């Protein structure tokens, strides 16, 4: 498991000494954090967006940092578009409002997914288009 030490400034070059002590209990597993984020994304954003297994981030409030990916129908390509943090002790997603705003901003500003999505839209051949004028008549027997 990867661990990120957050809020530590280190020099670009030279000796580094990091000394800290942090005690906490992991009550929410990485899989549970991923599941919580996946459920929220499905209900609040889109079924085309999902979560991957998180990284543990150690700072004053230890969290699972869950990567968020976007995929397009008919492809196996996943593009990481952001992250969401989940509290390791409570299992609650941290700062839902800001996370939603950031994801929506990404989706509105980034033209790549929209442009790529247009490649999946195909026009039907004329033989498959139904002409309903005049509307069909209903015959009672």
Domain containing residue 29: 25-117
Residues 6+ apart with CB under 8 A from 39: none
Contact 33, 86 (CB under 8 A): yes
Q: What pLDDT score does 77 carry? A: 67
Mean pLDDT of the 54-79 span: 84
Query: Structural domain tally of the chain?
Result: 1
**Rounded to two decimals, what is the model's pTM?**
0.68
pLDDT, one tens digit per residue, over 53-66 is: 999 998 888 999 99
Judge whether 8 lies within some domain: no
pLDDT at 121 exceeding the cut of 50? no
Judge whether 129 lies within some domain: no
Judge whether 17 lies within some domain: no
Judge whether 132 lies within some domain: no
pLDDT at 92 exceeding the cut of 90? yes
Mean pLDDT of the 91-113 span: 79
């Amino acid at each position: 498991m990867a661990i990120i030490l957050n809020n530590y400034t280190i020099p670009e070059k030279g000796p580094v000494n990091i000394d800290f002590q942090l005690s906490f209990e992991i009550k929410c597993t990485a899989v549970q954090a991923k599941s919580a984020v996946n459920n929220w994304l499905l209900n609040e954003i889109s079924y085309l967006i999902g979560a991957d297994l998180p990284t543990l981030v150690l700072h004053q409030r230890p969290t699972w940092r869950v990567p968020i990916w976007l995929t397009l129908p008919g492809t196996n390509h996943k593009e990481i578009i952001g992250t969401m943090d989940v509290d390791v002790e409570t299992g609650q997603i941290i700062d839902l409002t800001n996370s939603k705003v950031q994801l929506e901003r990404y989706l509105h500003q980034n033209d790549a997914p929209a442009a790529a999505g247009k490649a999946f839209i195909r026009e039907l051949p004329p033989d498959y288009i139904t002409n309903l004028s005049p509307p069909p008549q209903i015959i009672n027997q």
